[in-house]
Structure 1
Protein backbone atom coordinates (compact mmCIF):
# COMPACT_ATOMS: atom_id res chain seq x y z
CA UNK A 1 0.00 0.00 0.00
CA UNK A 2 2.88 2.37 0.69
CA UNK A 3 4.24 1.73 -2.81
CA UNK A 4 0.88 2.64 -4.35
CA UNK A 5 0.78 5.84 -2.36
CA UNK A 6 4.36 6.83 -3.21
CA UNK A 7 3.67 6.14 -6.89
CA UNK A 8 0.67 8.47 -6.80
CA UNK A 9 2.85 11.29 -5.47
CA UNK A 10 5.12 10.98 -8.37
CA UNK A 11 1.21 10.42 5.56
CA UNK A 12 1.61 11.88 8.76
CA UNK A 13 0.17 9.91 11.71
CA UNK A 14 2.81 7.33 12.71
CA UNK A 15 4.72 7.77 9.45
CA UNK A 16 3.82 4.42 7.85
CA UNK A 17 3.39 5.81 4.32
CA UNK A 18 5.67 8.80 4.15
CA UNK A 19 8.01 8.79 1.15
CA UNK A 20 11.65 9.61 1.92
CA UNK A 21 11.34 13.08 0.39
CA UNK A 22 8.78 14.15 2.99
CA UNK A 23 9.76 17.56 4.40
CA UNK A 24 7.13 18.08 7.08
CA UNK A 25 4.35 16.05 8.68
CA UNK A 26 1.23 17.56 10.20
CA UNK A 27 -0.62 15.57 12.84
CA UNK A 28 -3.14 16.84 15.44
CA UNK A 29 -2.49 14.05 17.96
CA UNK A 30 0.54 14.23 20.24
CA UNK A 31 0.06 10.50 20.92
CA UNK A 32 0.45 9.65 17.23
CA UNK A 33 3.44 11.99 16.88
CA UNK A 34 5.14 10.16 19.75
CA UNK A 35 4.78 6.87 17.83
CA UNK A 36 6.60 8.14 14.73
CA UNK A 37 9.77 6.17 13.95
CA UNK A 38 13.26 7.53 14.46
CA UNK A 39 14.46 9.34 11.38
CA UNK A 40 10.97 10.35 10.22
CA UNK A 41 10.37 13.87 8.98
CA UNK A 42 9.70 16.48 11.67
CA UNK A 43 6.05 16.69 12.68
CA UNK A 44 3.99 19.68 13.73
CA UNK A 45 0.97 19.29 15.99
CA UNK A 46 -1.63 20.99 13.81
CA UNK A 47 -4.70 20.20 11.70
CA UNK A 48 -5.44 19.83 8.00
CA UNK A 49 -8.01 22.61 8.25
CA UNK A 50 -5.30 25.08 9.23
CA UNK A 51 -1.95 23.98 7.85
CA UNK A 52 0.98 25.92 9.36
CA UNK A 53 2.39 26.72 5.91
CA UNK A 54 2.35 29.71 3.61
CA UNK A 55 0.12 29.44 0.54
CA UNK A 56 1.74 27.71 -2.47
CA UNK A 57 4.77 26.63 -0.42
CA UNK A 58 4.33 22.86 -0.89
CA UNK A 59 4.82 20.89 -4.11
CA UNK A 60 2.55 18.05 -2.97
CA UNK A 61 0.31 17.23 -0.03
CA UNK A 62 -0.63 13.73 1.11
CA UNK A 63 -3.54 12.96 3.43
CA UNK A 64 -4.01 9.37 4.64
CA UNK A 65 -7.07 7.87 6.38
CA UNK A 66 -7.82 11.19 7.99
CA UNK A 67 -10.73 12.98 6.35
CA UNK A 68 -13.31 11.38 8.65
CA UNK A 69 -11.59 13.18 11.53
CA UNK A 70 -11.83 16.65 9.97
CA UNK A 71 -14.32 19.19 11.26
CA UNK A 72 -14.20 21.20 7.99
CA UNK A 73 -13.61 19.08 4.90
CA UNK A 74 -13.74 22.02 2.51
CA UNK A 75 -10.85 23.64 4.40
CA UNK A 76 -8.75 20.50 4.64
CA UNK A 77 -8.98 19.00 1.15
CA UNK A 78 -5.14 17.43 -1.92
CA UNK A 79 -4.31 13.88 -2.13
CA UNK A 80 -6.14 11.37 -0.02
CA UNK A 81 -6.00 7.77 1.00
CA UNK A 82 -9.50 7.35 2.37
CA UNK A 83 -12.24 4.74 2.44
CA UNK A 84 -15.60 4.21 0.82
CA UNK A 85 -17.91 3.88 3.84
CA UNK A 86 -20.48 1.83 1.90
CA UNK A 87 -17.85 -0.89 1.37
CA UNK A 88 -15.74 -0.44 4.48
CA UNK A 89 -18.71 -0.76 6.82
CA UNK A 90 -19.54 -4.18 5.32
CA UNK A 91 -16.18 -5.41 6.62
CA UNK A 92 -16.92 -8.49 8.74
CA UNK A 93 -15.54 -6.96 11.96
CA UNK A 94 -17.96 -4.05 11.77
CA UNK A 95 -20.95 -5.78 10.23
CA UNK A 96 -20.94 -8.86 12.48
CA UNK A 97 -19.31 -7.75 15.71
CA UNK A 98 -19.26 -3.95 16.00
CA UNK A 99 -22.30 -2.56 14.15
CA UNK A 100 -22.76 0.15 16.79
CA UNK A 101 -19.22 1.39 16.19
CA UNK A 102 -19.85 1.38 12.44
CA UNK A 103 -22.99 3.44 13.00
CA UNK A 104 -20.92 6.02 14.88
CA UNK A 105 -18.34 6.03 12.10
CA UNK A 106 -21.15 6.70 9.61
CA UNK A 107 -21.73 10.06 11.23
CA UNK A 108 -18.16 11.11 10.31
CA UNK A 109 -17.44 9.22 7.09
CA UNK A 110 -17.22 11.09 3.81
CA UNK A 111 -18.59 9.58 0.60
CA UNK A 112 -15.93 9.23 -2.09
CA UNK A 113 -18.01 11.11 -4.66
CA UNK A 114 -18.31 14.03 -2.23
CA UNK A 115 -14.52 14.13 -1.82
CA UNK A 116 -14.06 14.02 -5.60
CA UNK A 117 -16.35 17.05 -5.84
CA UNK A 118 -14.34 18.91 -3.20
CA UNK A 119 -11.19 18.13 -5.18
CA UNK A 120 -12.63 19.91 -8.20
CA UNK A 121 -14.37 16.95 -9.83
CA UNK A 122 -11.33 15.66 -11.70
CA UNK A 123 -9.73 13.41 -9.09
CA UNK A 124 -8.62 9.93 -10.10
CA UNK A 125 -10.03 7.21 -7.81
CA UNK A 126 -7.99 4.01 -7.41
CA UNK A 127 -8.93 0.89 -5.46
CA UNK A 128 -6.26 -0.08 -2.90
CA UNK A 129 -6.63 -3.76 -1.91
CA UNK A 130 -5.21 -4.68 1.50
CA UNK A 131 -2.68 -7.57 1.48
CA UNK A 132 -3.29 -10.36 3.97
CA UNK A 133 -0.01 -9.65 5.78
CA UNK A 134 -0.39 -5.89 5.97
CA UNK A 135 1.50 -4.53 8.98
CA UNK A 136 0.28 -0.93 8.94
CA UNK A 137 -2.26 -1.35 11.73
CA UNK A 138 -5.32 0.48 10.41
CA UNK A 139 -8.83 -0.90 10.93
CA UNK A 140 -9.04 -3.56 8.21
CA UNK A 141 -5.33 -4.43 8.06
CA UNK A 142 -6.00 -7.69 9.92
CA UNK A 143 -8.92 -8.93 7.81
CA UNK A 144 -7.35 -12.44 7.56
CA UNK A 145 -5.92 -12.41 11.10
CA UNK A 146 -9.02 -11.87 13.26
CA UNK A 147 -7.28 -12.76 16.52
CA UNK A 148 -5.30 -9.53 16.20
CA UNK A 149 -8.38 -7.49 17.12
CA UNK A 150 -8.38 -9.12 20.55
CA UNK A 151 -4.96 -7.62 21.33
CA UNK A 152 -5.10 -4.28 23.20
CA UNK A 153 -1.89 -3.08 21.55
CA UNK A 154 -3.47 -3.55 18.10
CA UNK A 155 -6.67 -1.76 19.06
CA UNK A 156 -4.66 1.10 20.57
CA UNK A 157 -3.49 2.09 17.09
CA UNK A 158 -6.97 2.12 15.51
CA UNK A 159 -8.97 5.31 15.92
CA UNK A 160 -12.37 3.60 15.82
CA UNK A 161 -11.53 1.68 18.99
CA UNK A 162 -10.04 4.73 20.67
CA UNK A 163 -13.16 6.80 19.99
CA UNK A 164 -15.79 4.19 20.86
CA UNK A 165 -16.70 3.36 24.45
CA UNK A 166 -15.71 0.08 26.05
CA UNK A 167 -19.40 -0.64 26.68
CA UNK A 168 -19.94 -0.76 22.91
CA UNK A 169 -16.70 -2.58 22.03
CA UNK A 170 -16.54 -5.22 24.76
CA UNK A 171 -19.58 -7.38 23.81
CA UNK A 172 -18.54 -7.55 20.15
CA UNK A 173 -15.01 -8.59 21.01
CA UNK A 174 -16.35 -11.23 23.39
CA UNK A 175 -18.44 -12.69 20.54
CA UNK A 176 -15.40 -12.62 18.26
CA UNK A 177 -13.32 -14.44 20.88
CA UNK A 178 -16.01 -17.10 21.27
CA UNK A 179 -16.33 -17.54 17.50
CA UNK A 180 -12.57 -17.95 17.12
CA UNK A 181 -12.41 -20.49 19.94
CA UNK A 182 -15.31 -22.51 18.53
CA UNK A 183 -14.15 -22.30 14.91
CA UNK A 184 -17.32 -20.49 13.83
CA UNK A 185 -15.41 -17.53 12.44
CA UNK A 186 -13.22 -19.75 10.27
CA UNK A 187 -16.25 -21.66 9.00
CA UNK A 188 -18.14 -18.47 8.22
CA UNK A 189 -15.17 -16.83 6.48
CA UNK A 190 -13.47 -19.82 4.90
CA UNK A 191 -13.45 -17.94 1.59
CA UNK A 192 -11.00 -15.39 3.04
CA UNK A 193 -8.38 -17.81 4.29
CA UNK A 194 -6.64 -18.37 0.94
CA UNK A 195 -6.97 -14.83 -0.40
CA UNK A 196 -3.84 -12.77 -0.84
CA UNK A 197 -5.58 -9.37 -0.79
CA UNK A 198 -9.04 -7.95 -0.20
CA UNK A 199 -10.91 -4.83 -1.25
CA UNK A 200 -12.16 -3.44 2.06
CA UNK A 201 -13.11 -0.08 0.63
CA UNK A 202 -9.83 1.83 0.77
CA UNK A 203 -9.50 4.32 -2.05
CA UNK A 204 -6.68 6.55 -3.26
CA UNK A 205 -7.83 9.91 -4.64
CA UNK A 206 -5.29 11.83 -6.69
CA UNK A 207 -5.84 15.35 -7.98
CA UNK A 208 -3.74 18.15 -9.39
CA UNK A 209 -4.92 21.38 -7.79
Structure 2
Protein backbone atom coordinates (compact mmCIF):
# COMPACT_ATOMS: atom_id res chain seq x y z
CA UNK A 1 0.00 0.00 0.00
CA UNK A 2 1.33 3.45 -0.93
CA UNK A 3 1.95 5.65 2.13
CA UNK A 4 -0.75 8.13 1.17
CA UNK A 5 -3.30 5.39 0.62
CA UNK A 6 -3.01 5.06 4.39
CA UNK A 7 -2.55 8.64 5.60
CA UNK A 8 -4.05 10.73 2.82
CA UNK A 9 -7.80 10.26 3.22
CA UNK A 10 -8.38 13.65 4.86
CA UNK A 11 -5.58 15.39 2.98
CA UNK A 12 -7.66 18.00 1.20
CA UNK A 13 -9.10 19.24 4.50
CA UNK A 14 -5.68 20.21 5.87
CA UNK A 15 -3.44 20.62 2.82
CA UNK A 16 -4.72 23.43 0.63
CA UNK A 17 -2.27 25.34 -1.56
CA UNK A 18 -1.07 28.59 -0.03
CA UNK A 19 -1.03 31.33 -2.70
CA UNK A 20 2.30 32.78 -1.55
CA UNK A 21 4.03 29.41 -1.68
CA UNK A 22 2.36 28.77 -5.03
CA UNK A 23 3.80 32.04 -6.35
CA UNK A 24 7.30 30.97 -5.33
CA UNK A 25 6.87 27.68 -7.17
CA UNK A 26 5.57 29.46 -10.28
CA UNK A 27 8.57 31.80 -10.19
CA UNK A 28 10.92 28.84 -10.00
CA UNK A 29 9.23 27.18 -12.98
CA UNK A 30 9.54 30.28 -15.12
CA UNK A 31 8.08 30.60 -18.60
CA UNK A 32 7.22 27.02 -19.50
CA UNK A 33 4.31 25.69 -21.51
CA UNK A 34 4.05 22.07 -20.33
CA UNK A 35 4.73 20.44 -16.97
CA UNK A 36 4.71 16.95 -15.50
CA UNK A 37 3.78 17.13 -11.82
CA UNK A 38 5.54 14.31 -9.95
CA UNK A 39 4.13 13.15 -6.64
CA UNK A 40 1.16 15.33 -7.49
CA UNK A 41 -1.10 14.22 -4.65
CA UNK A 42 -4.50 15.87 -4.62
CA UNK A 43 -3.33 18.63 -6.96
CA UNK A 44 -2.15 21.39 -4.64
CA UNK A 45 0.39 23.70 -6.31
CA UNK A 46 -0.28 22.11 -9.68
CA UNK A 47 0.39 24.77 -12.34
CA UNK A 48 -2.15 25.26 -15.14
CA UNK A 49 0.47 24.14 -17.68
CA UNK A 50 0.41 20.62 -16.24
CA UNK A 51 -0.20 18.00 -18.92
CA UNK A 52 0.22 14.96 -16.67
CA UNK A 53 0.16 14.31 -12.92
CA UNK A 54 2.09 11.31 -11.60
CA UNK A 55 1.01 9.95 -8.21
CA UNK A 56 1.44 6.47 -6.64
CA UNK A 57 -1.63 6.74 -4.39
CA UNK A 58 -5.09 6.14 -5.80
CA UNK A 59 -6.54 7.68 -2.61
CA UNK A 60 -4.78 10.94 -3.46
CA UNK A 61 -5.75 10.84 -7.13
CA UNK A 62 -9.38 10.37 -6.17
CA UNK A 63 -9.27 13.68 -4.27
CA UNK A 64 -8.13 15.69 -7.29
CA UNK A 65 -10.57 18.29 -8.68
CA UNK A 66 -12.63 17.20 -11.66
CA UNK A 67 -10.95 19.78 -13.89
CA UNK A 68 -7.39 18.87 -12.87
CA UNK A 69 -4.83 17.53 -15.32
CA UNK A 70 -4.97 13.82 -16.20
CA UNK A 71 -3.34 11.68 -13.52
CA UNK A 72 -1.72 8.25 -13.62
CA UNK A 73 -0.71 5.85 -10.88
CA UNK A 74 3.05 5.79 -11.27
CA UNK A 75 6.26 6.71 -9.46
CA UNK A 76 9.05 9.21 -9.99
CA UNK A 77 11.54 6.44 -10.70
CA UNK A 78 9.61 5.31 -13.81
CA UNK A 79 7.78 8.24 -15.40
CA UNK A 80 5.33 7.16 -18.12
CA UNK A 81 6.54 9.78 -20.61
CA UNK A 82 8.79 9.82 -23.65
CA UNK A 83 12.16 11.55 -23.65
CA UNK A 84 11.91 15.36 -23.77
CA UNK A 85 8.12 15.15 -23.55
CA UNK A 86 7.54 18.33 -21.50
CA UNK A 87 9.15 21.67 -20.84
CA UNK A 88 9.48 21.14 -17.10
CA UNK A 89 9.33 18.50 -14.38
CA UNK A 90 8.00 19.62 -10.99
CA UNK A 91 8.25 17.84 -7.63
CA UNK A 92 6.55 19.52 -4.65
CA UNK A 93 7.24 18.16 -1.15
CA UNK A 94 7.64 14.65 -2.51
CA UNK A 95 11.30 13.75 -3.03
CA UNK A 96 11.63 12.54 0.58
CA UNK A 97 9.17 9.74 -0.27
CA UNK A 98 11.01 8.44 -3.34
CA UNK A 99 12.58 5.00 -3.00
CA UNK A 100 15.51 5.93 -5.27
CA UNK A 101 16.20 9.66 -5.45
CA UNK A 102 18.95 9.30 -8.06
CA UNK A 103 16.64 7.34 -10.36
CA UNK A 104 13.83 9.87 -9.90
CA UNK A 105 16.07 12.82 -10.72
CA UNK A 106 17.40 10.98 -13.77
CA UNK A 107 13.82 10.49 -14.93
CA UNK A 108 13.08 14.20 -14.47
CA UNK A 109 16.10 15.03 -16.62
CA UNK A 110 15.01 12.49 -19.22
CA UNK A 111 11.45 13.73 -19.73
CA UNK A 112 11.96 17.49 -19.31
CA UNK A 113 13.46 19.63 -22.06
CA UNK A 114 14.07 22.86 -20.19
CA UNK A 115 13.63 22.90 -16.42
CA UNK A 116 13.54 20.74 -13.30
CA UNK A 117 12.08 22.22 -10.11
CA UNK A 118 11.72 20.97 -6.54
CA UNK A 119 9.94 22.51 -3.58
CA UNK A 120 11.58 20.94 -0.55
CA UNK A 121 13.49 21.89 2.59
CA UNK A 122 16.96 22.18 4.12
CA UNK A 123 17.02 19.34 6.70
CA UNK A 124 19.50 21.21 8.91
CA UNK A 125 17.19 24.21 9.25
CA UNK A 126 14.02 22.25 9.84
CA UNK A 127 15.85 20.33 12.57
CA UNK A 128 16.10 23.63 14.46
CA UNK A 129 12.36 24.32 14.19
CA UNK A 130 11.05 24.81 17.74
CA UNK A 131 8.48 22.01 17.50
CA UNK A 132 11.03 19.34 16.62
CA UNK A 133 13.87 20.79 18.69
CA UNK A 134 11.97 21.45 21.92
CA UNK A 135 9.05 19.02 21.94
CA UNK A 136 9.18 16.19 19.42
CA UNK A 137 12.68 14.73 19.09
CA UNK A 138 11.23 11.47 17.74
CA UNK A 139 9.73 13.42 14.82
CA UNK A 140 13.08 15.15 14.34
CA UNK A 141 14.65 11.72 13.90
CA UNK A 142 11.98 10.80 11.37
CA UNK A 143 12.65 14.01 9.45
CA UNK A 144 16.39 13.36 9.44
CA UNK A 145 15.74 9.88 8.06
CA UNK A 146 13.32 11.03 5.36
CA UNK A 147 14.87 14.30 4.23
CA UNK A 148 17.04 14.64 1.13
CA UNK A 149 19.96 17.04 1.45
CA UNK A 150 19.84 20.02 -0.89
CA UNK A 151 23.47 19.44 -1.80
CA UNK A 152 22.62 15.91 -2.91
CA UNK A 153 19.75 17.15 -5.08
CA UNK A 154 22.03 19.72 -6.72
CA UNK A 155 24.67 17.06 -7.37
CA UNK A 156 22.16 14.71 -8.97
CA UNK A 157 20.71 17.48 -11.10
CA UNK A 158 24.19 17.93 -12.53
CA UNK A 159 24.03 21.67 -13.07
CA UNK A 160 24.26 24.89 -11.10
CA UNK A 161 21.12 24.80 -9.01
CA UNK A 162 19.23 27.99 -8.24
CA UNK A 163 18.12 27.74 -4.62
CA UNK A 164 15.62 30.25 -3.26
CA UNK A 165 14.32 30.35 0.29
CA UNK A 166 10.53 30.34 0.66
CA UNK A 167 9.53 31.95 3.98
CA UNK A 168 6.38 30.54 5.52
CA UNK A 169 3.67 33.16 6.18
CA UNK A 170 2.20 33.24 9.68
CA UNK A 171 -1.26 32.46 8.31
CA UNK A 172 -0.18 29.79 5.83
CA UNK A 173 -3.24 27.84 4.69
CA UNK A 174 -1.29 24.71 3.73
CA UNK A 175 -0.76 22.49 6.74
CA UNK A 176 2.74 21.19 6.02
CA UNK A 177 5.05 20.42 8.91
CA UNK A 178 6.23 23.92 9.89
CA UNK A 179 3.19 25.84 8.63
CA UNK A 180 1.89 26.55 12.12
CA UNK A 181 5.11 28.02 13.53
CA UNK A 182 3.11 30.93 15.04
CA UNK A 183 -0.02 28.87 15.84
CA UNK A 184 1.27 26.12 18.14
CA UNK A 185 -2.19 24.93 19.16
CA UNK A 186 -2.68 23.50 15.66
CA UNK A 187 -0.15 20.78 16.39
CA UNK A 188 -2.43 19.42 19.11
CA UNK A 189 -5.03 18.53 16.46
CA UNK A 190 -4.62 14.89 15.40
CA UNK A 191 -6.18 15.54 11.99
CA UNK A 192 -3.71 18.35 11.29
CA UNK A 193 -0.80 16.11 12.25
CA UNK A 194 -2.19 13.32 10.07
CA UNK A 195 -1.64 15.49 7.01
CA UNK A 196 2.07 15.85 7.81
CA UNK A 197 4.11 12.82 6.82
CA UNK A 198 6.80 13.49 9.42
CA UNK A 199 4.23 12.91 12.18
CA UNK A 200 2.13 10.31 10.37
CA UNK A 201 5.24 8.14 10.00
CA UNK A 202 6.43 8.57 13.60
CA UNK A 203 5.21 6.16 16.26
CA UNK A 204 2.30 7.96 17.99
CA UNK A 205 3.45 6.92 21.46
CA UNK A 206 6.76 8.68 20.85
CA UNK A 207 4.90 11.98 20.38
CA UNK A 208 2.64 11.83 23.43
CA UNK A 209 4.96 13.31 26.05
CA UNK A 210 6.08 16.19 23.86
CA UNK A 211 2.55 17.04 22.77
CA UNK A 212 1.43 17.00 26.39
CA UNK A 213 4.22 19.43 27.32
CA UNK A 214 3.29 21.65 24.39
CA UNK A 215 -0.34 21.72 25.52
CA UNK A 216 0.75 22.69 29.04
CA UNK A 217 3.11 25.38 27.73
CA UNK A 218 0.36 26.89 25.59
CA UNK A 219 -2.07 26.82 28.50
CA UNK A 220 0.37 28.49 30.93
CA UNK A 221 1.78 30.95 28.41
CA UNK A 222 5.25 29.42 28.61
CA UNK A 223 5.38 28.80 24.87
CA UNK A 224 4.50 32.42 24.08
CA UNK A 225 7.09 33.72 26.53
CA UNK A 226 9.80 31.46 25.10
CA UNK A 227 8.90 32.39 21.53
CA UNK A 228 8.02 36.05 21.94
CA UNK A 229 10.04 36.95 18.86
CA UNK A 230 7.85 34.71 16.70
CA UNK A 231 4.50 36.00 17.91
CA UNK A 232 4.98 39.32 16.11
CA UNK A 233 6.63 37.97 12.94
CA UNK A 234 4.75 37.95 9.65
CA UNK A 235 6.80 35.14 8.09
CA UNK A 236 9.60 32.80 9.04
CA UNK A 237 12.39 31.12 7.11
CA UNK A 238 12.08 27.58 8.46
CA UNK A 239 14.20 26.03 5.70
CA UNK A 240 11.72 25.56 2.84
CA UNK A 241 13.09 26.38 -0.58
CA UNK A 242 12.81 25.87 -4.31
CA UNK A 243 15.62 24.14 -6.15
CA UNK A 244 15.64 24.68 -9.91
CA UNK A 245 17.99 23.96 -12.81
CA UNK A 246 17.99 24.66 -16.50
CA UNK A 247 18.47 21.45 -18.44
TM-score, normalised via structure 1 length = 0.94
Residues 154-173 of structure 1: pairs in structure 2 closer than 5 A: 154-173=192-211
What root-mean-square deviation, in Å, do the aligned CA atoms of Structure 1 and Structure 2 show? 1.4
Residues 89-140 of structure 1, C-alpha deviations (whole Å, 9 max, x = no match): 1111111111111112212221111111111131101111111111111101
Separation of aligned partners in 2, 1:36 and 1:173? 32
Q: Tell me, yes or no, if structure 1 residue 3 matches structure 2 residue 26.
A: no
Q: Which residue of 2 aligns with 1:17?
A: 45
For residues 145-193 of structure 1, what are the alpha-carbon distances to aligned partners after superposition, in whole Å with 9 as ceiling and x for unaligned? Answer: 1111111221121111211111112222111111111111111111001
What stretches of structure 1 of length at least 5 have no aligned partner?
none
Mean alpha-carbon deviation: is it higher for 18-27 or for 192-201?
18-27
Cα shift at 1:5: 0.5
**SS of residue matched to 1:200:** coil
TM alignment of 1:88-107, pairs within 5 A: 88-107=126-145
Greater share of residues in strand? 2
Matches of 1:171 and 1:40, distance apart in 2: 41
CA distance 1:36–1:179, change in 2 (3 Å) = farther
2-structure distance, mates of 1:156, 1:16: 17
1:26-37 aligned at under 5 Å gives the runs 26-37=54-65
How many Å separate the matches in 2 of 1:146 and 1:39? Answer: 35
Please give the TM-score of this superposition, normalised by the length of structure 2.
0.80
Query: Where do 1:61-76 residues align within 5 Å?
Result: 61-76=89-104
Q: 2:233 aligns with which of 177, 195, 200?
A: 195
Structure 2 unpaired stretches of 5+: 1-20, 31-36, 106-115
Whether 1:42 and 2:70 are equivalent positions in the alignment is yes
- Seen in structure 2, the aligned counterparts of structure 1 residues 124 and 93 have a Cα distance that, compared at 3 Å, is same
**What is the count of residue pairs matched by the alignment?**
209
1:130 equivalent in alignment to 2:150:
no
